[in-house]
Amino acid sequence: MRVDTSLTFLNGSATSFLDYIQAPDLKMISGGEFLRQIILKIVEPPIFWTPFTRAYKAGTLEMNGQRSFAWLLLQLIALPADEAKPYRTLAEDPSILNSLLSSPHLDIRNIAQSMKHLLTTVSTFPVIDIEDGPGGRHDNDFSDFRQIAIIPTADEIMSAQPPFLRHSEMLEDPETEKDRIAMYLDNQFRLLREDMIYEMREETQIITGKKKGRSRGFTVNGLTVVKIHPEDPNGSRYCQWGIAFQCKQDLWQFTKDKPKNRKAYLNDNRNIFRHQSSACLIIDGDIIAFPTVNRDEDLLAHRPPIVVLQFEGETSVVQTLVKMKAASQTKLVQIDSAIFSFAPILKGLQETQCMPLAPELLFWKDGNDISHPLSRLARIVHEVQTDRRRDLRTVLQTTKPVVLDESQAESFISGLTQKVSLIQGPPGNWIFVDWVSRHTSDILLDSGTGKSFIGALLGKALHDNTPLTILVVCYTNHALDQFLEDLLDIGIPQSSIVRLGSKYSPRTEPLTLQKQNSNLRLRRADWVNIDRHKLTSQTLLKRLHGAFSKYESKRVLERDILDYLEVEEPTYFEAFHVPKSGDGMTKVGSKGKAVSPFYLLSRWSGGHDAGIFKSSPHVQNASQVWGASRHVRISQSRKWKHEILKEQAADIFALGKKYNACTHTLDRIFDEKDADIMRSKRIIACTTTAAAKYRDSIQAASPGVLLVEEAGEILESHILTALGPQTKQLILIGDHK
């Protein structure tokens, strides 16, 4: 595809190849990473992509070629934001999108509709109010919420300006309809993130003495940067990069208890630098960053201990490394804030590329039809509507009688026939008497609303009569286990259900992901991908350690300064350039030594003139540089060294970011086993946090129904991240208050 770009090739072999790689099985290899790499190889460099796009615009592609072009463009705009940007710009071109939407071929129009929805979801809307709108309040405030680092920066926490949050009526304004999906996602992200930051801000004010109170986390005084973590790439599959800090003194817990086996003691006392807990790093009295603890017991057991901290965002990494270079006082305070429960949801919102059921959730108006007729459920609906008090045991194939009252029957019908349904009411008793321990009869009760029981009935009806996969989410593990037990009691087989997460009840333990077997065997393409990413991660980690060694060196080299000046301040670079002799002779200094490339820079920094080159034209032309006072020269040298140090820290961050992306890809490939298990189940159950954490694997199973128990306790943002591209129906069950 990089040799022949003729129209014959584009409509022939190229189209056939693009049609071949659209096979669903190909997308399942390595969690989609294999297909992503193929697509990137096709379009980068754009030897093929440019003429292919030009041919589409010229109208010379045949129907199959047009469909392949549309499919390929859809895959490109669905890439992560940095990679997708040029392709999204192309897709937004009216000559492209409008022609695809008006294609005479249905499958092309369907692809175009998916493109339009994705572009609407990820779009950034114009900021009308520059002063009070999003962006510019601090170093982590942007108009595009996808650019905001989830973990706040120090400047953000200390900022006195209130965060940007929209009023809900803005989302109902008819004038915002065009940008409503993007605005809604933006607002949900900002609202949830402010909930998270509020706790951190309160704790930080106590730490800095701005607010009375006692900090809930313990403090470590005195830290030095010692190395990059991890050291060995071969055992670090699940480990993101971090910076290792050595404490100057032993932890007070070790001093107090004097354990013989320090590592065993740490295993028994997991609240000591709890894994994934947040911390506040203070250097010379200033809050610098809010890193996350990566609990490595081997390093913590050292005398004195070594703590691994992971930082999010370039600002936090650069400020930390630059400040630590000359730090005299350092303090690390553990923060008791449940960031781990917020982060997966926030990340899920940033990664959202489509919003299913948007017409019902955001654009619904009185009179709109929200029905969702499923022919396989028509018989059940008819039976209930015909006689709402009849026993549904034979209809639903339950082992016990099922008789619904009027409100229960109405709720049941709405759950089967509507795209979005809400079942609410005060807490009530179970409908089956033998499900309530204080009763002994098999006669049904009318007391209570039985919301959860209706949810279980809906789950059984959908499980038995449709091919749809059901994603069940709850806010708490207790509610999830209780609802799963209801599903088991009503007759759904254990083999149809998988429960995600590490907690469970005795009855739901066999449903956990860890107890399931997978027949998945990684294919040759998977292992090729794994080997390639392992090699890449090893290379990146070596480069990361090399960049840290350069940062760790005691002084900035003259070569580094010249390299910096060549790019950033060419006037100084020209003034310090040592000219070569035209006759091939070597110039020597006053002591007979050959003149080095750093001769002029060294003399200028020392407060001297240009020495043997003071008559050179390029020195004469740089009189402002060479005429600077000693004070100015010292100040300028310090500035350059500071900027170079920042560049070195930025290089460390950039390499660490690439390394993390590589290890994340490896995780996704190995997690394909989990996705395979979920694809084999009809019901996937988890908490809302787990739904965000396992998002990729869950969506690989393409759940068509989202059933939310405890909906009254769940924020909208949690439900949004549980919705997937294939979600066709949303059932909400919860208390009315």
- 720 in Cβ contact with 694 (< 8 Å): no
Provide the pLDDT for residue 235.
57
Q: In terms of DSSP bridges, do strands 242-247 and 306-310 run parallel, antiparallel, or are they unpaired?
A: antiparallel
Provide the 10 A C-beta neighbour count for residue 239.
18
**pLDDT beyond 80 at 449:** no
User: Would you place residue 446 in the very low, low, confident or very high pLDDT band (cuts 50, 70, 90)?
Assistant: very low
For residue 668, CA distances in Å to 569, 584, 610, 675 come to 44, 59, 59, 10
Question: Model confidence over 90-109: pLDDT tens digits?
Answer: 998 888 999 999 899 988 99
Q: What confidence score (pLDDT) does residue 442 get?
A: 34
Q: Is the pLDDT of residue 537 over 80?
A: yes
pLDDT, position 448: 41
**Mean pLDDT, to the nearest integer, of 164-179?**
83
Nearest to 645 by CA among 544, 543, 545, 561: 561
358-518+680-734, CATH topology level: Rossmann fold (3.40.50)
pTM of the model: 0.80
Q: Are 147 and 124 in contact (CB under 8 A)?
A: no
* Tens of pLDDT, residues 694-707: 998 999 899 999 99
3-state secondary structure of 683: strand
Is residue 125's pLDDT more than 80? no
3 state DSSP class of 706: strand
Poorest-pLDDT segment among 185-194, 227-236, 375-384, 497-506: 227-236
Domain boundaries, the chain: 7-122, 219-335, 358-518+680-734, 525-657
Higher pLDDT, 367 or 499: 499
CA 599, CA 611: separation in Å to the nearest integer? 9
Digit-coded pLDDT (tens) for 582-628:
665 657 666 667 888 899 999 999 999 999 898 999 999 999 999 99
- Mean pLDDT value of segment 225-234: 85
pLDDT of amino acid 353: 86
Q: What is the pLDDT of residue 3?
A: 80
pLDDT(26) > 90: no
> Is residue 425 scored above 90 in pLDDT?
no
Output 151 or 425, whichever has higher pLDDT: 151
In tens, the pLDDT along 634-656 reads 999 999 999 999 999 999 999 99
Q: What is the pLDDT of residue 540?
A: 95
pLDDT at 576 over 50: yes
Report the distance separating Cα 691 and Cα 474, nearest Å.
10
What is the spatial distance between Cα 607 and Cα 629, in angstroms, rounded to a whole number?
8
DSSP string, 88-148: HHHHTSHHHHHHHHT-SSHHHHHHHHHHHHHHHHH-----S-TTTSSS-SSTT--SSGGGS
Give pLDDT, residue 129.
53
Q: Coil, strand, or helix at residue 157?
A: helix
Cβ atoms 694, 674 nearer than 8 A:
yes
Q: At what angle are helices 63-77 and 106-122 packed, to 10 degrees?
A: 20
Q: Is 702 left (phi over 0), alpha (psi -120 to 50) or beta?
A: left
pLDDT by residue (tens digit) across 270-317? 888 889 889 999 999 899 999 999 999 999 999 999 999 999 989 899
Give 633's Cβ-side CA count (13 Å radius). 16
Separation of alpha carbons 530 and 443, rounded Å: 59
Residue 15, token pair as written in the block: 């189209």
What is the distance between the alpha carbons of residues 733 and 491, in angstroms, rounded to a whole number?
A: 20
Q: Please, which pLDDT band fits residue 441 given cuts at 50, 70 and 90?
A: very low
Show contacts of 548-552: CB within 8 Å, 24+ apart. 548/227, 548/228, 548/652, 550/648, 551/321, 551/645, 551/648, 551/649, 551/652, 552/225
Contact 666, 233 (CB under 8 A): no
Q: Give me the pLDDT at residue 81, please.
A: 79
Question: Of residues 73 and 375, which shows the higher confidence score?
Answer: 73
Q: Between these two residues, 718 and 593, which has the higher pLDDT value? A: 718
What is the C-alpha separation between 589 and 437, in angstroms, rounded?
Answer: 99
Q: Supply the pLDDT for residue 539.
A: 94
Mean pLDDT of 333-351: 87
Residues sharing a CB contact under 8 Å with residue 379, sequence separation 6 or more, in sequence order: 395
Q: Is the pLDDT of residue 708 over 50?
A: yes
Residues 203-217 pLDDT 10s = 888 887 788 877 777
Q: Over the stretch 252-273, which tens digit does the pLDDT of each residue have? A: 899 888 888 999 999 999 888 8
Asked if residue 538 has pLDDT above 70, the reply is yes
| Own/partner pairs, 205-209, CB within 8 angstroms, 24+ separation | 207/280, 207/282, 207/333, 208/287
Q: How many CB atoms lie within 10 A of CB 499?
A: 28
Q: Give the pLDDT confidence score for residue 591 in this predicted structure.
A: 64
- What are the residues whose beta carbons fall under 8 Å from the beta carbon of 458, sequence distance 6 or more? 412, 415, 416, 707, 731
Mean per-residue pLDDT, 151-160? 88
* Cα–Cα distance measured from residue 172 to residue 180, given in angstroms and rounded to the nearest whole number: 8
The predicted model gives 523-529 an average pLDDT of: 87
Please state whether the peptide bond connecting residue 86 to the residue before it is cis, i.e. omega within 30 degrees of 0. Answer: no
The residue among 76, 58, 61, 65 whose CA lies nearest residue 115 is 76
Instruction: Categorize the per-residue pLDDT at 198 as very low, low, confident or very high, splitting at 50, 70 and 90.
Output: confident
User: What string of DSSP letters covers 590-606?
Assistant: TTSPBPPTTHHHHHHHT
Q: How confident is the model at residue 430 (pLDDT cuts 50, 70, 90)?
A: very low
442-450: long-range contacts, CB 8 A cutoff, minimum separation 24:
442/400, 442/401, 443/401, 444/401, 444/402, 444/403, 446/405, 449/407, 449/408, 449/425, 450/408
Q: Which residues contact 566 (CB under 8 A, 6 or more apart)?
A: 573
